[in-house]
A and B are shown apart, each in its own frame.
Chain A
Amino acid sequence: MKQRILIVNSGGDCPGMNAVIRAIVKRASRELDWEIIGSVNGFDGFLAEPLEIMPLTEDIVEGIHIHGGTILTTNNKRNPFCYPVKQEDGTILNKDVSDKLIYNLKVFGFDGMIHIGGNQSHKISLKLAQKGVNIIGIPKTINNDLASTDYSFGFQTAAQLATEAVDKLVTTASSHNRVLILEVMGRDAGWIALHAAVAGGADVCLIPEIPFSMDKVIKKLKSRYSTDGRGFANIVVAEGAHFKDEKGATVSGNIASRITAALKGINFEADIRETILGHLQRGGTPNAFDRILATELGVKAFELVKEKKFGTMAIHKNSELAHINLSEVIDKYNKVDLSHNLIHTAKGVGISFGD
C-alpha cells in the first residue's frame, strides 16, 4: 500500500500556496510509493463526515503554480484544539477535536501531514506534533513577520503590488498637488510599508515599529509644498502603525483615515485622499521570486517527511533550504529592526518615519 501524506493549508490566503502544493505533489510523484491528499478548507475537510478531501495527482496540480489562492481553499478560523461543534440543541460549543483528527489520520492510513500556515498554524502544528502526529510545517505569510525564515513566499508579490500602487498614486498626487495616503497590510510588522515606500518613492512611511508624531509628519509634508501651495506628498502607512501617544494595540484599524482627520484638524491646506489597498495584496499571480521560493519549500517539506524529520518546519536560511524544530518557531516574530539597513536607506533618501 502506498504511503499517504495529508496537506492542510490554513490561515489567510497568500500568493504561492498553489506552487507549494504542486511542488509537494510533483516531488512525491518522483517516488513510486507515495500519494498526496489535500484537506479541503483548512482542517474542516479532514474533520467532516464524510471527509472532504482531494486526491492530488500531477494532472490536478498542473499549471496551478501561477494562480493565486489555494485549490484546497483555506480557513483562518479553525483550530482542531478549539473547534466549533454543533450540539444537539443547535448551539455551538468549541471543543478539542484533535483526537478525532489523529484518529482519522490513523484510520485512513496517513503516514504524515504537511501543514502550510502562519504563526497561529505553527502553534497548532506543534501541539499536534506533541501528541505524536508526524507533521512538517511550511511558513506562509505575506507580512514577512516570521523570524525563523529569511524569506517567506507571498511577501515579494505583496510588496510589488503595494509598490505599483505607490507608482500610480505619485502621478495623481503630483498632478493635483495632493497628499495621498496609502494604507497597506503587515499586521504588527512594517515590512510591506517600508518596501513599498522605498521602491515607490514615498515621502513619509509610518510603521508599527516606530510610533509617529503627527507634528513630525506635518513638518515633512509642509517641506514638500511651496508657499503658493504647489507640491505633493505620498504617505505609506502600515495597518498596524500608531500615533506616539497611543497604546501599541494590534492593528487598530482606520489608521489612514485617522491621519486624514489629524491633518484636517490643523487645517492642512492641501487636498488629502486615502487609499486602502486591502485584499488586493493577497490575491493574484505570485511573482517569480515567490513561485521559486514556494516550490523550493514544497520539495523540501516532502523530503523532510521522507526522512522522517517530523516536528520541524522547512525554511530558507542563509541562501539555502533548511529545517528548524517547530518548538523554536512559535511566537518568534520578525519585526523591522530599527538598525536594519532599509531604515537607514529610507532615511538616506529623505523618507520621514514621523519620529
Chain B
Amino acid sequence: MKKKVLVLTGGGDCPGLNAVIRGIVKRAAQTEDWEVIGSIQSFDGVLREPTEIMELTEKRVSGIHFQGGTILGTTNKGGPLAWPVKENDGTWSFIDRSDEMIRKLKQMGVEAVISIGGDGSQRISQALFEKGLNVIGVPKTIDNDLSATDYTFGYQTAVQIATEAVDRLVTTAASHNRVIILEVMGRDAGWIALSSALAGGAEVCLIPEIPYDLNKVLGVINKRFKDGKGHVIIVIAEGAKPMEGDVLARESDEVGRANLKLGGVADKLLKDLKAAGCDADMRETVLGHLQRGGVPIAFDRILATQFGVKAMELALEGEFGKMVAYQHPSIVAVPFLEAISKYNIIKPDSSLVKTARGIGMCLGN
C-alpha cells in the first residue's frame, strides 16, 4: 500500500492555493510509494462523519494552477482544537477533537499532513505537531504579514489588482475633480496599501503602521486643489487608524471565527474629512474580496509551486513541525514556533516608505 499525505487548505482563500496543491501532487507522482489525498474545507473533511476526502491524482490537478480559490474548499472558522457544537439551548460551545482526529488519520493510513494556511492554521499545526502528528506547514496570506518568509503567494496578485484599481480611479478622479478613497485589505499590515499606492501613483496612503493626522490629509487635498491639480487619490488600509482613535473593527457574528472583522475606514475617513471642512467631491471604493480571487499572477504561481514541491520533499525526508518559506533566492524550512512568533509589518525606515516620501506621497504624518 502506498503512503498517504493529506493536504488541506485553511483560512481565507488566496490566489495560488491550487498551484501549491498541484505542486505537491506532481512532486509526489514522481515517487513510487506516495499518494496524495485532500481534506475538504480544512480539517473539517477529516472530522466529519462520513469523512469528506478527495483523491488528488495528477489528472485531477492538471491545469488547476491558474484557477483562484482552492479545489479543496476552505474555512476560517472552527478547527480540531475548537470544534463548534450547538447546545440544546441554542448556544454554541467548543470542544477539542484533536486526539480523535489524530487517531482517525492513523486509521486512514496518513503518514504526513501538509496544512496550507495563515498564522491561525500554523498555530493549529504546531499544537497538533506537539501531540505527535507529522505536520508540515505552507504559509498563505495575501497580506504579506509573515516575517519568516520574504513573500507569501497571493500578495503580488492582490497588489496587482489594487494597483489596477488605482489606475482606473485616477482617470475618474482627474475627469471629475474628485477625491477618491480606495480601501484595501491587509489586516494589521499596510503592504497592499503602500505597494498599490506607489505603483498606481496615489497622493496619500494611510497604513496601520503610521497613525494618521486628519489635518495633514486635509492639507494635501487643499493644496492639490489650490495648485490646480484638482484630484486626489487616497489609498487606505483596512487596519489604518487616526492618531486619536482606534482601529475600526467589530467582532464577527459567525460561529467559531476568531479574527475581528476590519473595514469601514474609507467611509469614516470620508465623513471625517467632510466634518473637518473638506468641500471637494469625494467618493469611496472598497475593493473587498476582489483582492482574494481570480487568476494568480506568474510571480505567485511560481512561488506557490516552489512551496508545494518543497513541502512534499519535507514529507519525503520526514522533516516535520516546519513551515516552508522563501528567503531569496532559496526555499527553506523554518520551525512553526519561529514562523508564528513574528509579524511582518512595514518599518518606518524601509525603502518602500523612503521611496513613497521621496516622490512626495503623504503618509498622513
Question: For the complex, is B302 an interface residue (Cβ under 8 Å from A)?
Answer: yes
CB distance from A156 to the nearest CB of B (A): 6
Known: A289-B159, A291-B198, A342-B302. A30 touches B360 (CB 8 A): yes
Are the CB atoms of B358 and A27 closer together than 8 Å? yes
Q: Which of A321-347 contact B (CB under 8 A)?
A: 321, 340-342, 344-345
A288-B163, A345-B23 given; name 5 further pairs at CB < 8 Å: A65-B201, A319-B328, A321-B355, A349-B23, A349-B309
User: A320 CA to B354 CA in the complex, in Å?
Assistant: 11
- 25 pairs from A and B in contact (CB 8 Å cutoff): A26-B358, A26-B360, A160-B298, A167-B66, A198-B302, A199-B65, A199-B301, A200-B66, A200-B298, A201-B22, A288-B163, A288-B199, A288-B200, A289-B199, A292-B198, A292-B199, A295-B198, A295-B199, A295-B359, A319-B150, A342-B306, A345-B306, A345-B331, A348-B26, A349-B23
How far is B305's CA from A195's CA once the two chains are assembled, in angstroms?
A: 11
In Å, the complex CA distance between A164 and B305 comes to: 16
CB distance from B8 to the nearest CB of A (A): 20
Hey, which chain B residues are within 8 Å of A349, CB to CB? 22-23, 26-27, 305, 309
B29 interfacial contact with A, CB 8 Å? yes
A266 to chain B, nearest CB (A): 26
The distance from the CB of A121 to the nearest CB of chain B, in whole angstroms, is: 23
CA distance A129 to B260 in the complex (A): 56
Q: Complex formed: what's the CA distance from A195 to B156 in Å? A: 15
Q: What separation, in Å, do the CA atoms of A350 and B313 have in the docked complex?
A: 14
Complex Cα spacing A63 to B231, Å = 13
Secondary structure class of chain B's binding surface, majority of residues:
helix
List the A side residues contacting B30 at CB < 8 Å: 348, 350
Residues of B1-56 at the interface with A, using a CB-CB cut-off of 8 Å, are: 22-23, 26-27, 29-30
Judged by a CB distance under 8 angstroms, whether A5 is at the interface is no
Chain A residues in 8 Å Cβ range of B196: 288
Q: Is the CB of A195 within 8 A of B358?
A: no
Residue numbers in B under 8 Å from A302 (CB-CB): 358
Are A341 and B331 interface neighbours, CB within 8 A? yes
State the interface size on chain A (CB cutoff 8 A): 47
The chain B residue with its CB closest to the CB of A164 is B298
**How far is B65's CA from A198's CA once the two chains are assembled, in angstroms?**
10
Inter-chain CB contacts under 8 Å: number: 136
- Interface residues on chain B, size class: 35 or more
Partner of A163, one of B159, B298, B309, B355: B298
Chain A residue contacts of B218, Cβ below 8 A: none
The smallest C-beta distance from A306 to any residue of chain B, in angstroms, reads: 11
Does B302 lie within 8 Å of A29, measured CB to CB? no
Shortest Cβ distance from B301 into A: residue: A199
**How distant is the Cα of A195 from the Cα of B328 in the complex, in angstroms?**
15
CB nearest to B28 among chain A residues? A348
Q: Which residues of A contact B302 (CB under 8 A)?
A: 195, 198-199, 342, 345
B351 near A296 with CB under 8 A, answer yes
Contacts of B298 in A (CB 8 A): 156, 159-160, 162-164, 195-196, 199-200
Tell whether B297 is near chain A: CB-to-CB under 8 Å.
yes
The contact string, 1 if C-beta is below 8 Å from chain A, for chain B 171-210, is 0000000000000000000000001101111000000000
Please report the C-alpha to C-alpha distance between residue A160 and residue B157 in the assembled complex, in whole angstroms.
Answer: 11
Counting chain A CB atoms within 10 Å of each CB, the highest count among B23, B201, B331, B360 belongs to B201
CB-CB nearest in chain B for A299:
B358
Residue A303 at the B interface, CB < 8 A?
yes
Say yes or no for B299: interface residue by CB 8 A criterion.
yes
Within 8 A of B (CB), among A121-169: 150, 156, 159-160, 162-164, 167
Contact A318 B328, CB 8 Å, known A289-B159, A291-B199: yes
Q: Select from chain A the residue with minimum beta-carbon distance to B361.
A: A26
Q: Does B63 contact A (CB under 8 A)?
A: yes
**Nearest CB of B to A180, in Å:** 15
Check B305 against A63 for contact (C-beta < 8 Å). Answer: no
Asked if B167 is at the interface of the complex by the 8 Å CB criterion, the answer is yes
Contact for B351 among A29, A287, A320, CB less than 8 A = A320
Tell me if A210 counts as interface (CB < 8 A to partner B). no
A63-B201, A296-B351, A299-B359 known; A348+B195 contact, CB < 8 A: no
Residues of A within 8 A of B (CB): 22-23, 26-27, 29-30, 63, 65-66, 150, 156, 159-160, 162-164, 167, 170, 195-196, 198-201, 287-289, 291-292, 295-296, 299-300, 302-303, 318-321, 340-342, 344-345, 348-350
Contact (A23, B160) CB under 8 Å given A295-B198, A299-B354: no
**Roughly how many angstroms separate A288 CA and B328 CA in the complex, as a whole number?**
19
Smallest CB separation, B333 vs chain A (Å): 12
- B114 close to A (CB within 8 Å): no
CB neighbours of B299 from chain A (8 A): 156, 159-160, 199, 289
B248 interfacial by beta-carbon distance below 8 Å = no
CA distance A341 to B302 in the complex (A): 11
| Interface residue? B352 (CB, 8 A) | yes
**Chain B residue at minimal CB-CB distance from A159:** B298
Name the distance in Å between A161's Cβ and chain B's nearest Cβ.
9
A27 lies within 8 A of B359 (CB)? yes
Which residues from chain A contact B167 at a C-beta distance below 8 Å? 66
What CA separation (Å) do A27 and B361 show in the bound complex? Answer: 10
Cα separation A30 to B358 with both chains bound (whole Å):
7
- With a CB–CB cut-off of 8 A, which chain B residues contact A26? 358-360
Instruction: A288 to B30: give the CA distance in the assembly, Å.
Output: 36
A-B CB proximity, top 5 nearest? A348-B309, A299-B358, A163-B298, A288-B199, A288-B163
Q: Answer whether residue B107 sits at the interface, using C-beta atoms and an 8 A cutoff.
A: no
Q: Does B348 contact A (CB under 8 A)?
A: no
Query: Is there an interface contact between B360 and A29, defined as CB atoms closer than 8 Å?
Result: yes
A23 to B302, CA, bound (A): 29
Residues of B close to A318: CB separation below 8 A = 328
Q: What's the minimum C-beta distance from B309 to chain A, rounded to whole angstroms?
A: 4
